[in-house]
Structure 1
Amino acid sequence: MKVAREEIVTAARELFREKGYAGASMQDLAERVGLKKASLYMRFANKEALVPEVMDLLLRDTLSEAGAGGAGGAWYPAYAALVRAIADTLSDRKRCVGLHLAYGVGDETPVAKQAVRTFFQSLRHRMSDILARAMPSITAEILAADALVRLEGATLLIAVFDEVTPMERAVEAVLSEARAAARRKGSR
């Protein structure tokens, strides 16, 4: 059976989301995609080798949902789209693969640990770059980090209590803080 690499990575993402790093196994993944475990090992040396590709897929999906939001253009629509894309991904899936992996990998899995770090740094940098169009860079960096903490924290209430209103409030608070910071810069 021919299984595309992207299909394996997508299945691994869902498996990590469901079971975390420690709970997911290569056997689970092989069964999910319809491969023999040996065939899976021919493509990925171990479970850790999947993590960078899973995190890259997650980042691409999130940024794609947010739209371009790249260089130039109005900062607020780009930032709002990115914040909502992150929140939607977290709300729809009821947990964050990145956090699941952040708590599941450590010094014994340096490749996985670096992939998780790169994922969160990429989101934070993208948010900060957009915010820096409207405010000092240091303020943008702080707001971006705080926004990620709020959005990821709201995921806890979705996962535990199936409550989405905290995520909605987190999004509104994050966007409100950004607008206020931009106004403060404009009034100086």
Structure 2
Amino acid sequence: MTKVSREKIIREARELFREKGYVGASMQDLADKVGLRKASLYMRFPNKEALVPEVLSLTLDETFTQPDIDGSDWYTAYKAVVRAIADSLTDRKRCVGFHLAYGVGDDTPMAKEAVRNFFQAHRDRMTDILEKAMPRDIASITATDALVRLEGATLLLAVFDDPGAMERAVDAVMAAVRD
């Protein structure tokens, strides 16, 4: 049997969640995708819900480990974060966080909390950057509006295959902080 890394399982779970959502993705799908028996997968992750925090943590880490984020002036750091989010959404034409948000509920409390924490972490990190240039309450609203614009552009990308929508969203998000 081939040894499959934990990271590979998490990455493949992320793609399954993006493709099929939480409800549509199964542990059997994931086991097939990574070349494991389902029982072996369950030895590493007790259930599908246990994958959600891992998937979102990986995605969050990728977004906020851009070279221009730490140590840069606030505008350069914010632009790097916005670009990282936009590129991730454009590459996959869907947001794993949204797919999970609409698939988890009260019957999956760990997953529901992970989704909430994922979006809260995005907003908090963006707010932390923006508060170098504006009051924190305004920075929080600005970060929230930026996430709404970027995530909304994903809809047009997925439905109409319109990558221009994402670029317009990025331009609008950056224009909002230049004013």
Q: Bin the TM-score by the shorter chain.
A: over 0.9
Deviation at 1:105, TM superposition (A): 0.5
Identity of aligned residues (%): 67
Instruction: Please say if residues 9 and 34 of structure 2, whose CA atoms lie closer than 8 Å, have aligned partners that are also in contact.
Output: yes
Give yes or no for the alignment of 1:163 onto 2:145.
Answer: no
Q: Which residue of structure 2 aligns with residue 186 of structure 1?
A: none
Instruction: Please say if residues 150 and 169 of structure 2, whose CA atoms lie closer than 8 Å, have aligned partners that are also in contact.
Output: yes
Deviation at 1:95, TM superposition (A): 0.3
Q: Which stretches in structure 2 are left out of the alignment for 5+ residues? A: none
Q: Which residue of structure 1 aligns with residue 56 of structure 2?
A: 55
CA distance in 1, matches of 2:17, 2:171: 29
CA distance in 2, matches of 1:31, 1:159: 26
Instruction: Please say if residues 127 and 140 of structure 2, whose CA atoms lie closer than 8 Å, have aligned partners that are also in contact.
Output: yes
RMSD value over aligned CA atoms? 0.9
Q: Which residue of structure 1 aligns with residue 4 of structure 2?
A: 3
- Report matched runs for 1:83-94 at 5 Å: 83-94=82-93
Deviation at 1:68, TM superposition (A): 5.0
- Report matched runs for 1:59-78 at 5 Å: 59-64=60-65, 66-67=66-67, 69-70=69-70, 73-78=72-77
* TM-score for the superposition, normalised by structure 1: 0.92
Deviation at 1:73, TM superposition (A): 3.7
Q: Which stretches in structure 1 are left out of the alignment for 5+ residues? A: 181-188
- Report matched runs for 1:35-54 at 5 Å: 35-54=36-55
* TM-score for the superposition, normalised by structure 2: 0.97
- Report matched runs for 1:117-156 at 5 Å: 117-156=116-155
Per the alignment, in what secondary structure is the counterpart of residue 104 of structure 1? coil
For residue 11 of structure 1, what is the amino acid of its counterpart? Answer: E
Q: Which residue of structure 1 aligns with residue 178 of structure 2?
A: 179
